[in-house]
Amino acid sequence: MPNYILGFDGGGTSCRAAVASADGRILGRGKSGAANILTDPDTALVNIVDAARAAFGDAGIDPAHMGSAAAVLGLAGNNVGDAVHYVKQRLPFAKAEIVSDVLIALEGALPAGDGAVASLGTGTVYVVRRGAAVSYIGGWGFTIGDLGSGARLGQALLQESVLAFDGIHPSSPLTDAVMAEFHDDPREVVDFARQARPGDFGRYAPRLFEFAGKGDPVALHLLKAATTSIDETLDVVVDRGGKPICLLGGLAVLYRPWLAERHQSLFVEPLADALTGSVMLAAKHAAAISEMIA
């Protein structure tokens, strides 16, 4: 069994790491930038290593021990095989498993029994566990999926702001505020959007919730469309036996009061976070390897 294990929780905004003893006791934590291996695998690799170094540093352990550690990485974008293969080949750990970021969230939130996690952040993805079976819904990335995500909300808000500027759709205090940020020049919005990654769009999502709370008509329109897509997916989660449900991710708290009444009684608080879940999985994997060797 390795002396140290590593757990990672990586998404479109940040990557968190924890180094633990072989029995899963967390010794130190670290954090770095985005780690979506589908959107930008090379940047994800840099940030994974930086987060690991920071975790070892926080624990007062020489980062050179990284090379002998076993790791479980819960990463956004893991459902595309080429991206997983590319990143896994380049990781500096003795053994590494890349799993869905929502699987480690499930492991931390509901360590035993049936249930589901809806991860609502820069992206969106859902996981259901019923007995020994685990199934996923969504998580297909910003280009064709992630409905209701922070990235999609931000993109829709920028689009609506430009439409309002052109007089095609009505403006509102929210669209006026967005355009003012870009000096009332849609060309600046286009230039930003052309280079933006999902996390860049996602930074606009909290503002949309803020203005929706004030009754802003554009914010309410966009939020209604987003919550409809989430409620539709939660219906599928429930049909698959995914009860209770933990809402996780940066937008979970903001979304909860806007979701359909039929789902409210199903929501429960997580027992632990996704990073803890990744460490729990890493400890299980390390123990299984030791048993195989023995």
Predicted confidence at residue 142, as pLDDT, reads 86
Q: What is the CATH number of domain 112-269?
A: 3.30.420.40
C-alpha distances (whole Å) from 206 to each of 77, 126, 167, 238, 251 are 23, 21, 25, 27, 8
3-class SS of residue 125: strand
**Taking 60 as the threshold, does the pLDDT of residue 291 lie above it?**
no
Predicted confidence at residue 292, as pLDDT, reads 35
Average pLDDT over the chain reads 91
In eight-state DSSP terms, residue 281 is H
Average pLDDT over residues 1-15: 85
CA proximity to 110, closest of 268, 275, 255:
268
Average pLDDT over residues 82-105: 90
**For 194-246, what is each residue's pLDDT tens digit?**
999 888 999 999 999 999 999 999 999 999 999 999 999 999 999 999 999 99
**Taking 90 as the threshold, does the pLDDT of residue 38 lie above it?**
no
**For 48-69, what is each residue's pLDDT tens digit?**
999 999 999 999 999 999 999 9
**For 107-135, what is each residue's pLDDT tens digit?**
999 987 899 999 998 889 999 999 889 99
Predicted confidence at residue 81, as pLDDT, reads 67
Q: Which residues contact 267 (CB under 8 A, 6 or more apart)?
A: 244, 245, 246, 247, 256
Residue 142 to residue 201: CA distance in whole angstroms:
10
Q: Give this prediction's pTM.
A: 0.80
**Taking 80 as the threshold, does the pLDDT of residue 2 lie above it?**
no
CA proximity to 55, closest of 74, 31, 73, 72:
31
Residue 17 to residue 278: CA distance in whole angstroms:
9
Q: Report domain extents, the chain.
A: 4-110+272-293, 112-269
Predicted confidence at residue 288, as pLDDT, reads 56
Which of these CATH numbers, 3.40.50.300, 3.30.420.40, 3.50.50.60, 3.30.70.360, describes 4-110+272-293? 3.30.420.40
